[in-house]
Structure 1
Amino acid sequence: MTASPTAANTRAVFAVFEKYQKERLMFVQTVADLASRESNIDALQSAGVMSLLRPLLLDNVPAIQQAAALALGRLANYNEDMAQSVVDSDILPQLVYSLSEQNRFYKKAAAFVLRAVAKHSPELAQSAVDSGALTALISCLEEFDPGVKESAAWALGYIARHNGELSQAVVDAGAVPLLVLCVQEPELSLRRIAASALSDIAKHSPELAQCVVDANTVPIVAPLLANPDAKLRRQVCSALAQIAKHTVDLAETVVDGEIFPNALNCLKDVDGYVKKNAATLLAQLIVNSGGIAAVVDYVNETRGNARLPGVMTLGYVAAFSETLALAVIVAKGVPPLTQALVIENEEHIKAACAWSLGQIGRHSPDHAKTLADHAVLPKLLKILTSGDKGSSAATDTDAGPGADLKTKTKRALKCILEKTLSIEALDPLLQPNVTPPNILKYVVGQFAKILPHDVAARRSFVTSGGLQRIQEIANLFAGMAPGVPGTLAQEQAVERGSSNVLQGNALTGTKMGEYITTINECYPEEIVRYYSPGYSATLLDKIDEYNKQQEYGPGGGHHTQQLPRLPSSDQLPTAPQPQGITA
């Protein structure tokens, strides 16, 4: 029996649609696979992949929707520009709309896209919030599937981590109680990400940390310090530290959560991140319990080896974070460390002081400025250069400690200098005959960062003699060979046709050469030449050359200019004798 013409036509039509569906699925799966490799991202973007994937998010085939969301997530995860393209293509509202209707596989892929967009910057995270993502993600936290919960918690954490306003939005959406419930789930990966999200929320302000505490977080999270999973212990230590760092009351709440002795045991953990986060937690507890002030008093009151534990404690506390370093500054910990650096005789104590000061100053320009205000930089430089001059008291037995002291002093100087943006603090170190070249490079580098953006600093730099010293440094480092472009030495070499101009010198291709060129480009060439070594001799040479031109004339022949001849005495007119005068 033959099929009817109508049935045959129907099959033919269905075959076209089936082929179209298979091609769509193959296309979107291939794009998702290509997007997993970084080398393909630019080509995909230039091919207009965003506009092709967007309609596939609303496809009637779930597998195509999921593959399209996965491809978009991988593209957005690559860099901020790709994430911005996702936002500009109005893809986020479609994702949020579909989150409430689709299956768990699509929800995981959509949450991945939101996370990939939000992670890059506060502005992109705000775009995700503006699209209504928080409500959809909160609903995902109530799903039965742990994978959906995990993807939603991860996205919420990436939104909250940027600033207090975004964290407050996450809290207002009702995320904290659900995240606390996720910490109690049996799946390890879900517990880790939920704890991490709570840490990202609590870190911004005391009010947000209090919101986390009010959800009964501490009693639930604290016992997890003894969990066998190292990655979970990392996140738990971090979350408790972010809660404890804000106020004394919050620190006491963490302590009341019975974190001891498990927190102390984490200090001996085999996982390095667990040890670091546990030490940060304990440092926060010490700071908020008034421990820093007590340690500062101890360093002030003790001398010799008894000072060493206090000095090291201040350094360790300051090393953990910018906030803890600021706590040491506020507790007036810099003056006793500076005093100990100068007056202590034991080199290992001086080395500890240098290390601690470096840990305080390495965080930000404000931290470095505090150290500069206490004249720490010249004192560190003095220690670094003192051994170069030799000492009759020095012996071979103290060469080891001397090397350790110099190493720690040099590292401290470099850490502080890289954050110093004060011309007044840097100027005393711009001494080519005193500051070692490996430190001078960082000093010149900081000037190269400051001067292009500060007009007042450029003028001050000239009047203080800094520009002249820069030219001296250029000639010193170049070994008196043709110098940095724009300098007098380089101009003279060009006039002479020196082959060294082509061959370069010790500054060619170096960081120091780049820094000096950047500084010289902030000034007119005449000013740079004026302050270059040998400029006065050049002026004298030009005066001599000018005199010769006046003497020989423009024709090049020697001639003497004839002066007018005076008349002889007999040619002078006789003066008339006055009449009526008698002897």
Structure 2
Amino acid sequence: MYSNDDLSVLDTTDDLESPLDRLEPVDAESETPKPDPEVMLAMLSSPETPQRMLAARAFCELKDERAIPLLINLLEDVCPLVRVSAAYALGRNPSPTAVEPLINQLNCDFNGYVRKGAVWALGNCRDRRALPSLIDALKNEISAVRLWAASSLAQMAELDYEEIVASIPPLITALKQEPLAAVRSNCAWSLGQLCREMPSNAIYAGAVDGLIEAFAEDEDLGVREDAKAALLKLGDPRALQLIETLELEGFV
């Protein structure tokens, strides 16, 4: 689907994280002074690429609505480092106006880091328009993007019942079929988050069954532990009884 000639292919475990992944919360206390928003706003329109990149990264720490239209423009910057910084910054400054531009960039950008940042930002936007793109990314993207598509789908828990229901089947499928353990772990976590907002119906039962299967049968210990944690947080009586039984019998 994508070119193999640059940063666009991030399909090994070592490449799952990009430099901007480990961002602290915007309101987190830090000994380092935050950048001046007025200066950074002006630099977003700088003709110099390093200045635009620095300013976009600054809004990964700053929240300012005035930056949103400028950051949207930078999603199409010629420099991929500017584009990825703009995507992460929009994740820190989520806005309904950014949803369609982020979807467009996810669909067309050759750079895997940019697409990954777009997926993360779309999750933070918590907008139903992003749901089809997040599901498609979970099914068809490179591993680094699938990783965050899985966790971004958990944000649909804050939307309506229809969006929650639509998010669950692709997560169950990925939990069973995804080759990368880290992605399966994120699927398990997201299913736990979504099911907390679900009534006890057939869709909920299917998700619990998927989590039980992962807990009992997944080859990766981390996935099994994440599936177990999701089930314990749900407090589903059937799942709790089965966990106890399997552990007592030494099957897990």
Give a deviation string over 1:274-324, Cα, whole Å, max 9, x none: 51443424774945xxx49xx9xxxxxxxxxxxxx89x97xxxxxxxxxxx
SS at match of 1:59: coil
SS at match of 1:60: coil
Alignment of 1:30-429 (within 5 A): 38-41=30-33, 44=35, 49-73=36-60, 75-76=61-62, 83=63, 86-87=64-65, 90-100=66-76, 102-117=78-93, 125=94, 128-129=95-96, 132-142=97-107, 143-160=109-126, 170-171=127-128, 173=129, 175-185=130-140, 187-202=142-157, 205-213=160-168, 217-218=170-171, 220-224=173-177, 227-229=179-181, 231-245=182-196, 246-247=198-199, 248-254=201-207, 261-266=213-218, 270-271=221-222, 274-281=224-231, 284=234, 286=236, 291=238
Q: Give the TM-score, by structure 1 length.
A: 0.32
Instruction: Report deviation, 1:259.
Output: 6.2
CA RMSD of aligned residues (A): 3.5
The AA in structure 1 aligned to 2:115 is: K
Quick one: higher RCO (CA 8 Å, sep 6+), 1 or 2? 2
Alignment of 1:451-470 (within 5 A): none
Instruction: Report deviation, 1:58.
Output: 1.2
SS at match of 2:59: helix
Instruction: Report deviation, 1:104.
Output: 2.8
- Percent identity at matched positions? 19
Structure 1: gaps (5+ residues): 1-36, 77-82, 118-124, 161-169, 296-308, 314-583
CA distance in 2, matches of 1:59, 1:187: 32
Instruction: Report deviation, 1:193.
Output: 0.5
CA distance in 2, matches of 1:66, 1:198: 28
Instruction: Report deviation, 1:255.
Output: 6.3
CA distance in 2, matches of 1:219, 1:115: 26
User: 1:484 corresponds to which residue?
Assistant: none
CA distance in 2, matches of 1:40, 1:283: 36
Instruction: Report deviation, 1:102.
Output: 4.5
Instruction: Report deviation, 1:147.
Output: 1.1
Q: Give the TM-score, by structure 2 length.
A: 0.68
8 A contact 1:237–1:281 mirrored in 2: no
The AA in structure 2 aligned to 1:62 is: T
Higher helix share: 1
Instruction: Report deviation, 1:253.
Output: 3.9
Give a deviation string over 1:433-456, Cα, whole Å, max 9, x none: xxxxxxxxxxxxxxxxxxxxxxxx
Give a deviation string over 1:116-151, Cα, whole Å, max 9, x none: 33xxxxxxx4xx33xx11121111221232211100
Structure 2: gaps (5+ residues): 1-28, 245-252
Instruction: Report deviation, 1:153.
Output: 0.9
Q: Work out which of the two has the higher radius of gyration on C-alpha atoms and give 1 or 2.
A: 1
